[in-house]
Structure 1
Amino acid sequence: MGEPGRGPVGIVAGGQDLPFEVVDALKAQGRDYFMFGLVGEADVRIEFHPHIWLKWGEVGQFFRLLELHGISELLCIGSISHRPDFKSIKLDFGAVKILPDIFKILSGGGDEGVLQGLARFFEKRGLQLVSVKDVAPSLVVGPELCVGAGLSDALKRDVDLASRAALAVGALDAGQGVVVAAGRILALEGPEGTDQMLERVTRIRHEKRARWDFGKEGLLLKRARPGQDLRFDMPTIGPRTIENVREAGLSGIICAQGEVLCANRARTIELVRENGLFLQARSFTDIQL
């Protein structure tokens, strides 16, 4: 493998825009890259970049290409809409040789255990797994993000409640988001993801199982799980998040500084302003349960 920071960055690309925003950031730095598009997940736009399409299970092909292109830094980025059905995956010869390692990784417990096992697996083979913060820090929410009006005292109390709830649910390796309105926890994110959680909140509002002042109360808080390895599954917001927050009748979003990605930032901020919402970054380092 090449020397870290010198060769191209390998990008294992899932869906949506973030893989291409990372590419733009790498180009601005003069860094080379090579994209591994996951079949059924990655956007067809990778056809305009140095790339190859890979199916789940083509591990041997993957490592051959890493060696061929001198890749020693690897970034996993983009959405995965469907977890692979390991019973139906056809393994290539390279994957068959490492089956004991794969089974050991998959038996690592929750998501965090599996991801940590995956990190160790790659590191033993000379690869450095990097995060978006390492190669494209401009995509990470920082203290400069502050869009919309200041928060009322009631919303500030909701932020405090949401931050403690997010810390609790995150400690259980369960999710990265919480919705609170009028002093009440409405939803905790589970494996369905943020968008589906917000759809649940919309149904709660339509069915009048909870009441809050439409567009003036309620918020979504996004933060990483305690101790989360930010090289994997970093919490993300984007234009669709804003649309779903508005549809749910909430007033805005709070993100933890340094822990959340903002995809398509210009359009995201534009939608926040168009809908009269707020989008703010906060530090939660001192929050306790």
Structure 2
Amino acid sequence: MVLDGDGPVGIIAGGQDLPFEVVDALKAAGHSYLLFGIVGEADERIENHPHQWIKWGEIGLLFRVIEQHHISRLLCIGSIGARPDFRSIRLDLGAMKALPAILRIMASGGDESLLQGVAGFFEQRGVQLCSVPDVAPGLVVGDDLSLGSKLAQANEADIGLAARAAGVIGALDAGQGVVVADGRILAMEGPEGTDQMLARVAQILSEKRARWNVGKQGVLLKRARPGQDLRFDMPTIGPRTIENAKKAGLAGIVCAQGEVLCANRQLSLEIARKSGLFLQARKLEDISL
């Protein structure tokens, strides 16, 4: 773990378990922390930790607390159920003062440009944005994530097609995941996210709009967008992903090594094992395209 600077690490926390897994990694390494829980997104468990609740638009409050606690490093982690409707957000005084900069960021283009603008906004105010690999490298999938190798080998052609398709949509700043079964692209991830994409595949299966050998064919491949800033929106799988892949009739999941987070790893592996799904981390360059 490589962290520069003094003071606690600030964690802007969305939903689910990853913020707390990051907290565990920080505590194990002897680092202090403070959770900023996004109202309506973060889990109530943050009440058991040093924390500050913040609403969308409370930028002034965020920076006041950052200054009070001498926070110079900040991490954004956790799920966001829906992008905020900025038209309905009430900006606090600090946000109003920063409004010209915020508007420039919002007008900057696609997701990657937007996120780079956010990073610059914080860095200009003396706050270094960290990535999960900086803070909790154990959450990033490596070659130790390997379950069901024989079943994965039987799906190599689909894995290759999924890797090619994921590279294309990622280069277009459009998504981080693809589902392929029996040589056919069934779904490519868009703004809806992985769970909703898998729900679409499950519907395709139930309506018999495509056919494949359920449980023996079909793969979800997750990877970062080419050139993606891993300080934001790292692709993530977890128990729910695996359960939804099972409902979608897939044989397994492949993640790009070093680019994807696995939440609740032991539980994820246990669910995959009981469900008969393969779960693999691969170097993209080793996949036959």
TM range (shorter): over 0.9
C-alpha displacement of 1:87: 1.1
> Deviation per CA, 1:152-202, whole angstroms, max 9, x where unpaired?
655111111100000001111110000000011110000000000000000
8 A contact 1:139–1:262 mirrored in 2: yes
1:46 equivalent in alignment to 2:49? no
Equivalent in the alignment of 2:207: 207
Cα distance in 2 for partners of 1:31, 1:285 equals: 35
Equivalent in the alignment of 1:160: 160
Equivalent in the alignment of 1:74: 74
RMSD: 1.4
Cα distance in 1 for partners of 2:288, 2:122 equals: 34
Secondary structure at 1:114 match in 2: helix
Structure 1: 5+ residue stretches without partners: none
> Deviation per CA, 1:231-275, whole angstroms, max 9, x where unpaired?
000000000001000001100000000000000111100001001
Equivalent in the alignment of 1:122: 122
Cα distance in 1 for partners of 2:287, 2:160 equals: 8
Change (3 A) 1:68 1:217: same
Equivalent in the alignment of 1:246: 246
Change (3 A) 1:286 1:110: farther
8 A contact 2:219–2:253 mirrored in 1: yes
Equivalent in the alignment of 1:232: 232
TM-score between both structures, scaled by the size of structure 2: 0.97
8 A contact 2:151–2:251 mirrored in 1: no
**Across the two proteins, how many residue pairs are aligned to each other?**
287
Equivalent in the alignment of 1:144: 144
C-alpha displacement of 1:149: 3.4
Look up the equivalent residue of 1:209 and give its one-letter code: R
Change (3 A) 1:126 1:287: farther
8 A contact 2:159–2:287 mirrored in 1: no
8 A contact 1:164–1:287 mirrored in 2: no
Cα distance in 1 for partners of 2:135, 2:115 equals: 20
Change (3 A) 1:152 1:262: closer
Secondary structure at 2:179 match in 1: strand
8 A contact 1:38–1:56 mirrored in 2: yes
Cα distance in 2 for partners of 1:101, 1:6 equals: 27
Q: After TM superposition, what 4+ stretches of structure 1 lie above 3 angstroms from structure 2?
A: 151-154, 285-289
Q: Map 1:172-183 to 2 at 5 A.
A: 172-183=172-183
Equivalent in the alignment of 1:14: 14
Cα distance in 1 for partners of 2:43, 2:152 equals: 41
8 A contact 2:54–2:62 mirrored in 1: yes
Look up the equivalent residue of 1:63 and give its one-letter code: F
Cα distance in 1 for partners of 2:229, 2:244 equals: 27
Change (3 A) 1:208 1:216: same
8 A contact 1:164–1:288 mirrored in 2: no
> Deviation per CA, 1:95-145, whole angstroms, max 9, x where unpaired?
111100000000010111110000011111111100000000000001111
Cα distance in 1 for partners of 2:153, 2:265 equals: 28
Equivalent in the alignment of 1:64: 64
Equivalent in the alignment of 1:105: 105
TM-score between both structures, scaled by the size of structure 1: 0.97
C-alpha displacement of 1:286: 6.6
Cα distance in 2 for partners of 1:99, 1:122 equals: 14
8 A contact 1:59–1:92 mirrored in 2: yes
> Deviation per CA, 1:200-255, whole angstroms, max 9, x where unpaired?
00011111111001100001000000111110000000000010000011000000
8 A contact 2:12–2:76 mirrored in 1: yes
C-alpha displacement of 1:285: 3.8
Look up the equivalent residue of 1:27 and give its one-letter code: K
Cα distance in 2 for partners of 1:241, 1:142 equals: 18
Look up the equivalent residue of 2:50 and give its one-letter code: P
Secondary structure at 2:86 match in 1: coil
